[in-house]
Amino acid sequence: MGKRLEGRLVIATHNPGKLWEMRALLAPHGIEAVSAAELGLTEPAETGGDFRQNAALKARAAAQSANLPALADDSGLCVDALGGAPGLHSARWAEATPGGPRDFATAIEKVEAALRKTGAAPPFRAHFTSALALAWPDGRTENFEGKVFGTLVFPPRGGLGFGYDPIFLPDGFTRTFGEMLMDEKQAIPADGSPALSHRARAFQAFARACL
């Protein structure tokens, strides 16, 4: 089991949607969460070969710069008929120019167009993955992962959530993540059963080990 977390923690993300969700997940645990943006930290380039490596490099960079433990998430949408794309490049599919502003309506259109091009027929199976990394200022890093499986729906449904939420219909539900309040998408069941979202599932593993 990892060292217990107390006091301040950096949330190593500049993504407002992730920040909001991670703050809400941490709130009941008495941890003071400060964001990388609030501390003026820059984001390292995501040069890792998978979600876990990218999460670790973001968490390590923030922990070293801030001299505080840091929690980072690297996540994405993986579509079976697209060989796992957009996957690691989920954020990039929303950028007209690399590193530029993100427009997820366009990213969602790109996913639909790519699916059409393959000739695949619905149901379009997909999953979200969240890799969480907790890094300590001395460089030690712990990794946790969560996934949620479902299908993609077009046209997008719902204006809640962020990113690809309006096209993701989790298995066993009739509403997309874009039609769910954060409390439902991110709920951590009190009886220890698995949470719904990929990030909440990864968070459950992190909380068991560190909180």
- CB-based contacts of 204: which residues, under 8 Å, 6+ apart? 146, 188, 194, 195
- Binding of residue 75 to ligand IMP (CB under 6 A): yes
User: Is the Cβ of residue 63 or residue 78 nearer to ligand IMP in the bound state?
Assistant: 78
Choose the stretch contacting ligand IMP; rule: CB under 6 A; options: 25-33, 71-79, 108-116, 138-146.
71-79
Question: Is 74 part of the annotated catalytic residue set?
Answer: yes
How far from each other are the two terminal CA atoms of the chain, in whole angstroms? Answer: 11
List 15, 35, 143, 176, residue binding ligand IMP (CB under 6 A): 15
Identify the active-site residue in 74, 80, 138, 183: 74
- Helices assigned H by DSSP within the chain: 16-26, 51-66, 104-118, 182-185, 198-210
What values do phi and psi take at 60, rounded to 5? -65, -45
Interface mask toward ligand IMP for 117-146; x: CB under 6 A: -----------x------------------
- Binding of residue 162 to ligand IMP (CB under 6 A): yes
Is residue 36 within 8 A of residue 61, CB to CB? The reply is no
Interacting residue ranges for ligand IMP, rule: CB under 6 A: 15, 46, 74-77, 90-91, 128, 161-165, 177, 197, 199
